[in-house]
Structure 1
Amino acid sequence: MRRAAEAVAVGQAGEVEAATDDLAAQEEESKDSAAIQSEIKAKEAAVALAEAATKKAEEKAAAAKAKAASKEHAAIEKAKAEYEKEVAHLTKIAARKRDDAIKHAGEDLTKAVTTASIIRRKEESTAQTARAKADEKAAKKRLEAEKIAWKERQAAEKDAHGAFKKAEKLATADRQKAEKEAEANRKAAIKAALAKRDAAIKAADAEHKKEEQKAKDEEDKVDNESAGDDPSLVLPPTTIEWLSSFIWGSKPASTAATPAEN
């Protein structure tokens, strides 16, 4: 009986122990499940916090980007306004320089034309004076030649008259011979005087033509210079283009060389 009771007690004790172990296992399992659930919740909370932080950071970054874009746009607009202001200022200065250059060019052109006109009148006067002097010189030489020829003829006539007077005192034959000789000498002297006169007149005419040609060449030179053949007095086809190229540094197509007024 006792042994049976012990066996029953042992069996009951085993059942109790088994039940205790089951309860402990269940409790341990319940703790593990709670820990897992708690860990899952903690991770979910961390993910939610991370997502919220990411969203906040993205919103902050977007706001900063928008602010930076607004600042950049304002800076660009400011720079553009300053650039346009500077361009307007430089354009105004360039226009003033261009106007001054055109004004100075006009003044220089007027001076050049006035100087050229004065030079032309002076050279024309010089040429006319040279022509008048040549005419006067030729006339004097012709008159001198005529005077010399007249004097020589008068001398020949005088000599012939003397010879005739002497011949009258001679015999008829001798007188005729003397008269003939005197006449021949008279004619020869007159011929020589006329030839000498003609030669002098010819030389005077040649020198006169030479002086006239020289005066004509001077007049032609003056005319050519006034017509624009003198490079120092010739302005380019378009002074405005030349001035523009001088101011802006570009070379106009119409002026292959340098820089007349439009």
Structure 2
Amino acid sequence: MRDLGAGFGHLLRGQRWVARHGRSYGFGLLPGLITLVLYTAALVALALWGEDAAAWATPFADDWSSPWQGLFRGFLTAVLFALGLLLAVLTFTAVTLLVGQPFYESLSEQVDADLSPDGTAPQSGLPLWRELWISARDSLRILVRAALWGVLLFAAGFLPVVGQTAVPVVGFFVTGFFLTEELAAVALQRRGVDLRARLALLRSRKTLVWGFGVPLGLAFLVPFVAVFLMPGAVAGATLLTRDLLGEEDADEDAGDGESTPHVPVVPPARDDG
């Protein structure tokens, strides 16, 4: 329970950090706004032409009598839109981080420098194009994992009782984990921690990760909220990263003195491939 509270505390402290650094917050909003416009256009298109897509995909139902044809294709249209919405929630963070890599990299470095005893932030030493390539590649890998979970949970949703109770709860925990991984990747990638090591590190303290990611995932379901929370979420994920790696904070007020030193389960390993 303590780790749950600590994870949520990192999320709140990240929002407070960007509130005190208005310039960084303003720049951090731009990638989210760009991604929001793209996703909104895609969802509107899905809503407008989803029924046509369902009809095209089910020619065998052309001769069905009313009302079965309408009910069947209406159900498929709703399922298609629900899947699109789920993928939008799961991938919004990854796409926004990819679009805003330079912005969020700079923001995360500022948080690290503020908290570091010597006022410096870890550097990857890689050129920007290399960081973008690694970020895009890892985001695709995470997207595949998230999509598999999404399909599994969607299928489990048809189970009586369990599908309407346990499955949505599990879905929020899965979403929270993957959201946290994507956000923490900004700070962990600068430390040379590759994807496999990142996942092992996050799994070693799942309650801390859930405390951070589940409330954020719930907030991201509200339209436009994700855009305004993204800069603070990146800052909070940097705080969470420092907690996971047991790094000392120089500013107790910024960290509220609640971060518990922790020896990482997996040693950082540079990803050059």
TM-score where L is the length of structure 1:
0.27
Larger relative contact order (CA 8 Å, sep ≥ 6): 2
Larger-Rg structure: 1
More helix by share: 1
